[in-house]
Amino acid sequence: MSDHRPAPTTLSAWQTLAKLSQSLPRVDELIVDPSRNTALRLSAAGVNADLSRQRISAAILAELLDLAKQSGFADNRRSLLAGEIVNTTERRPALHTELRAPATAGLPGIREQVQSTLHRVRAFTQQIREGVWRGCTGRAVQTVVFIGIGGSHLGPELAVRAIGNDGRLSIRFVANIDGSTLTEALRGADPETTLFITASKSFSTLETLENSRSARSWFLERTNQSAGLAKHFVAISANVPAARDFGIDPENVFPMWDWVGGRYSLWSAVGLPVALASGYDTFESLLAGAHAMDQHFATAEPHRNLPLLLALASIWNTNFLGAGSHAMLCYDDRLSLLPDYLQQLEMESNGKRVSSSGQPVEVHTMPILWGGTGTAGQHAYHQLLHQGTRAFSADFVFSAASPTELDHHHRWLLSHAIAQGQAMMQGDRHTTSEKQVPGDHPTSTLVLEQLDAFHLGSLLALFEHKVFCQGSVWGINPFDQWGVELGKRLANPVFEQLSGAPSNQQDASTQYLIHQIRTVGRNTL
Ligand code: F6P
């Protein structure tokens, strides 16, 4: 993939799209064209997508596909999947697709590392779930506390919540440095039957290290068994020396690799909680679903390529229709963490203002992504969606199959999902002004055949590839995240100052806030 990709605005397709956006029919006018609707509906790896509620005509679709072509989609996709350097600032490939490739496929050299790690994950899962792995007093593990943040947390917690836990183990997640998170996770846990898993690619993330240190103190204070640490603390990391310095036996460190970005790492040993919650076969199904979507992404023609079409719809909405936010509306409580997961995946990947070649992008990139679960959201923020003043786009996601025997609940749930998309499309313009709903908002609907490990894997891989396709058109690198570093650096002196060091070199607001906390905090102790 070239570092010197053309600026999107210089492409003729971009300029044509700008003209087409000037005189655009409403969605409810566009949707009467059956052939256009067919072109905007497709199925891939168990995800059935309807993009016919997008404000995209047949001519616009053709031009968007030309935009992808002109920005080098085919070559960029080939570079990604071949393991070329696509993370240009860090000079790395981005090989998350290799993590879910079957044992008989995959890139030589990478494949062996992946397979040997999967064997270890399988063996470890069996030992824990079957009670073969024993703690420092010979008792089997009952509670797993998984410590990690960002890409080393959101995927596994989302997946365990979505796919479920068969109840053999209690699995708790600790991400935030807020002391109440760890305290809550340890409530009622017995140190003799608790296993801690620290997941950190760098093994240098402040929140994860502080939480792990406090967990280690909690364990040692209660068991007085430093020799027992090896039976109660394991890690997933690319930094084995740092894990060893922390006190974790290198034998108990599952690898991560530089060629997998943190937010793309659910498919590595980071997905261990999925296997622990419901067995290794479930984790394998998750990988199989993602691989099925990879196959689709790799082989489908651009006009039938679902990740590409989702990306192009997003570019159309963001850059030509002025949508500044994208709502992820999940009509399934099991997907309640999907908006959080996608905030990291999409906003950390594509929230960029500089192209891969270091030039200003000059167009908007990733919009603000937010969302929640329906129908609860309908009684909160949908008012703004229907009658507010801001342009937005939205994705509806739900499962066709009901997760419970309360089938009529599911029919009600999906009725609302479908009707909300309908309301956003057609609006209601034939009533008094205060009741009018303009409609004409672009939405896509993603229907999973059912919500299980396979379909979750497929859905998440779909979004990963969508992010790549967006980055490909915008000419940005989705695989770095330099923007998060400044805040981390600035927190260090503030911590020193909250702990007593002088703060008079800080700006006026920072000094005031530190003073407040030092005085008010002390008074309330
Ligand atoms: O927020 C920045 C970030 O680097 C993410 O990209 C990453 O997933 C997270 O921190 C955690 O990093 P690590 O796995 O190294 O602890």
Q: Whose CA is nearest to atom 2 of ligand 1?
A: 484
Residue reference for tokens 């640490």: 229
97-284, superfamily in CATH?
Glucose-6-phosphate isomerase like protein; domain 1 (3.40.50.10490)
**Closest residue to atom 6 of ligand 1, CA basis:** 262
Closest residue CA from atom 9 of ligand 1: 150
Q: Is the CB of 238 under 6 A from ligand 1?
A: no
Q: Which residues, other chains included, contact 44 with Cβ-Cβ below 8 Å and sequence gap of 6+? A: 292, 293, 296, 300, 306, 458, 462
Cα dihedral across residues 22, 27, 29, 31: positive or negative: positive
Task: Respond yes or no: is residue 231 known to be catalytic.
Answer: no
Whole-model pTM: value is 0.97
Out of 326, 348, 441, 466, which one is annotated catalytic? 348
* pLDDT for position 4: 67
Question: How far away, in angstroms, is 476 Cα from ligand 1 center?
Answer: 20
Active site residue 346: no
Closest residue to atom 3 of ligand 1, CA basis: 150
Q: List all residues 6 or more positions away from 196 whose beta carbon is below 8 Å from its beta carbon.
A: 144, 145, 147, 212, 215, 216, 219, 232, 233, 234
pLDDT on residue 473: 97
13-82+300-474: CATH topology:
Rossmann fold (3.40.50)
Helix segments in 132-194, DSSP class H: 154-163, 179-186
Is the CB of 208 inside a 6 Å radius of any atom of ligand 1? yes
Question: Is 221 noted as a catalytic residue in this protein?
Answer: no
How far, in Å, from the CA of 411 to the mean position of ligand 1? 39
Q: What pLDDT score does 521 carry?
A: 73
Atom of ligand 1 minimally distant from the CA of 205: 16
Kind plus residue range of the DSSP H or E element containing 116: helix 110-129
Q: For residues 325 and 340, give the distance between their C-alpha atoms in angstroms, rounded to a whole number.
A: 14
Of 173, 201, 240, 347, which is best to mutate to test ligand 1, by the most ligand atoms within 8 angstroms of its C-beta? 201
Question: What's residue 524's pLDDT?
Answer: 56
Show pLDDT as tens, one digit a residue, over the chain (525 residues): 555 678 999 999 999 999 999 999 999 999 999 999 999 999 999 999 999 999 999 999 999 999 999 999 999 999 999 999 999 999 999 999 999 999 999 999 999 999 999 999 999 999 999 999 999 999 999 999 999 999 999 999 999 999 999 999 999 999 999 999 999 999 999 999 999 999 999 999 999 999 999 999 999 999 999 999 999 999 999 999 999 999 999 999 999 999 999 999 999 999 999 999 999 999 999 999 999 999 999 999 999 999 999 999 999 999 999 999 999 999 999 999 999 999 999 999 999 999 998 999 999 999 999 999 999 999 999 999 999 999 999 999 999 999 999 999 999 999 999 999 999 999 999 989 999 999 999 999 999 999 999 999 999 999 999 999 999 999 999 999 999 999 999 999 999 999 999 999 999 999 999 999 999 876 554
Q: Quick check: 392 and 324 in contact, CB under 8 A?
A: yes
Amino acid occupying residue 244: R
Residue reference for tokens 């008792």: 139
Give the ligand 1 atom nearest the CA of 148.
Answer: 16
* Positions of E strands within 18-169: 41-44, 47-50, 143-147
**Could you tell me if the CB of 156 is within 6 A of ligand 1?**
no
- Determine the distance separating the centroid of ligand 1 and the alpha carbon of 154, expressed in angstroms: 11
Closest CA to 353 of 477, 463, 472: 477
> What is the C-alpha separation between 386 and 391, in angstroms, rounded?
10
- Asked if residue 268 has its Cβ within 6 Å of ligand 1, the reply is no
- Which listed residue (379, 408, 430, 435) is catalytic? 379
pLDDT at 520: 86
